[in-house]
Amino acid sequence: MKQRWILPALLGGLAWCASAAQAPAPTRVEAGSLIFDGIPAATGDDALKLGRWLESRSASFLDWKADGSLIITTRFANVSQLHRVRSAMGMREQLTWSSEPLTTVWSHPQDASLLLFGRDKGGDENRQLWLHNLATGEERLLTDGKSRHGAPVFAHDGRRIAFSSNARDGASSDIYTTDVQVGGVPRLVVTGGSEALSVEDWSFDDKRIAFIRYRSAADSELVVAEVATGTQTRLEPLPPPPAPASKGRKSRSATRAPAAVPGPVSVAQARFSKDGRGIYFISDRGGEFLELRYRDIYTGVEQSLTPGARWDVERFDQSPDGRYVAYTQNEAGVDRLVLYATATKANVLLPPLPAGSVIQGMGFDRTSRQLAVTLENAQSPRDVYVYTLGTEAPLPQVTLARWTQSELGPIDRTKAVAAVPIQFPTWDTVGSAQRLISGFVYKPATPGPHPVLINIHGGPESQYRPRWDAFTQYLVNELGFAVVAPNVRGSSGYGRTFLRLDDGRLREDAVRDIGSLLVWIGLQPDLDRSRVVAMGGSYGGYMTLASLVNYGDRLAGGIDVVGISNFVTFLTNTASYRRDLRRVEYGDERDPDMRLFLQGISPLNNAAAIKKPLLVVQGLNDPRVPYTEAEQMVARLRGSGGEVWYLAARDEGHGFRKKPNVDAYLLTVSQFLRRLNTSK
């Protein structure tokens, strides 16, 4: 019987399924934008079960409007769109109907009818900036329609925005300003190079711009530029002190400024203080962890709001009146929110957030009396909560209200399992003790031993955190898998030293951490060491392939999503604007010795060692890890007789964002895991 392939809307957008009668899988089937290459048709009731879990929805805070309403992003069809919410648990009013996902927005500081949003095409990450008029529905393109543009920041007068762009030559990162009212060609303010530039803030008088020059996760600078002239002053790390005067007398600012620290630092965010005197910023200068600091620009006097931090400060926001600074600290993957009163230099008592919360974003409203936060945990989707600050002095009373409640879909909330923190010993030592690697595990309620999926995050300078993931919950509840998510060396969140443990020639040390995890799994009585699958995206895709090369005898198979298969071809073909940034992390392939090393550790060149089934997933518009990384790996393994499933999407980039594509991808993963689980 001839195989039938369809796009069934009745299954909640699951992209494809098959008729009950089965024939051998075709070599290649195209369904809309998706390409199924060597993938058997979906069977059984996986599509129905998975579709129920994937109906869950999330809501994320983006910005406050000048009228006191807030803008969120959520999905009611195939992609995320912008919505407005005017009050706690109020109606979600849809504002945009784009065919591409909209997940970023910036509100005009005075005019509640205007907002700015960013949008790319098919996942190509060439974000364009559009001015949207809520009253008329009119949209006006502010950028060139083809280049990559960074997040814009409105000047206080509301007339101009500043943003980074690679429009000049496609590779360099520069900073421009443009008048949002009259339009026209953006004005070049800062000419950059291969480093990534991100605009952080305008000074109170709109004469200066603070921006970050990013070279790597461990090396960045905070710089202030004069808008009129482009003149730049580096604020962090501190420039070397001037040579002493002939009489040996030190200047007042030199004696009161904090001491410069040799070597690079990491800077994460910056905001000018509202009185115009200073600047708040996040930096790890002189320590292992990122601290929130304030420096008086005129006197050089500096203080840390989080001295001796044992965890990273990840983000902060300053109230428009300058009275409060809110910040989050990432404590072993879970966030703690702190509200700091600048006048009293004391922390304000806050109502507690739900246990295990991860905060995705936050921001004060124009009155400085409301602070919105987006939070989620392993058992609840993202939603928006708002703190309201009273007027009591010296410290206000604070209340907490939920503004959105996202739907979990047709699923019993009590079935969602928690993410349990774990630590396992790895292969090397710190001092006289074995180094411990942190992570999380999700386990079924049923007795084991359970098959295991190792979920390896990307980055590599990222961190697995216990966020809501409907597919993880599906794997645990419906397929009976335990999911283990390690934060191998090189992950952020555990200090500067740990972050750099996999740089350059240390790359395979992180792969050895997966070997140690496999030992730990083998010692757990409720986990089945004979049924372990590795899965990862981007750098996690490389880790998956490298794990199959090195530990294939202990793995049942692997799932590589937009992963690196050969570091040399990856560095050669990745988008030009990010090539030098990745060379800092992985090594410079132009150096003959480093090139030889990178070739030696690349999974493509060791593909003969991969004997287990592999699923490869790729967006064909990916500017980060080009599709050629996937296709050369597929061809190499198939050429030696290996079993490879290959799923590609023409309208996606570095990961899938559109619901029909996401559903098809996850259904394919489910089928692949079931095939591995039943083959044992």
Over range 81-91, report the average pLDDT: 95
What confidence score (pLDDT) does residue 241 get?
Answer: 65
Position 65 confidence tier, pLDDT thresholds 50, 70, 90: very high
Note the pLDDT tens digit of each residue in 323-348.
999 999 999 999 999 999 999 999 99
Over range 186-196, report the average pLDDT: 96
What confidence score (pLDDT) does residue 19 get?
Answer: 32
What confidence score (pLDDT) does residue 46 get?
Answer: 85
Note the pLDDT tens digit of each residue in 208-224.
999 999 999 999 999 99
Within 8 A by CB and 6+ apart from 168, the residues are: 174, 188, 191
SS3 label, residue 263:
coil
Position 42 confidence tier, pLDDT thresholds 50, 70, 90: confident
What confidence score (pLDDT) does residue 260 get?
Answer: 58
Note the pLDDT tens digit of each residue in 585-613.
999 999 999 999 999 999 999 999 999 99
- The closest alpha carbon to 213, from 263, 261, 268, belongs to 268
Report domain extents, the chain.
57-141, 168-240, 269-407, 420-651
Percent of the chain past pLDDT 70, that is, above it, reads 92
Q: What is the 3-state secondary structure (H, E, C) of 68-126?
A: CCEEEEEECCCCEEEEEECCCCCCCEECCCCCCCCCCEEECCCCCCEEEEEECCCCCCC
Instruction: State which CATH number among 1.25.40.390, 2.120.10.30, 2.60.40.2140, 3.30.56.10 fits the domain covering 269-407.
Output: 2.120.10.30
Over range 465-490, report the average pLDDT: 97
Note the pLDDT tens digit of each residue in 417-447.
999 999 999 999 999 999 999 999 999 999 9
Task: Say if residues 114 and 65 touch (Cβ distance below 8 Å).
Answer: no
Task: Say if residues 89 and 405 touch (Cβ distance below 8 Å).
Answer: yes
Over range 380-405, report the average pLDDT: 93
What confidence score (pLDDT) does residue 320 get?
Answer: 95
Q: What angle do CA 601, 498, 347 make, to 5 degrees?
A: 150
Secondary structure (DSSP) of 300-349: --EEESSTT-SSEEEEEEE-TTSSEEEEEEEETTEEEEEEEETTTTEEEP
What confidence score (pLDDT) does residue 528 get?
Answer: 97
Q: CATH assignment of 420-651?
A: 3.40.50.1820
pLDDT reading at 12 higher than 70: no
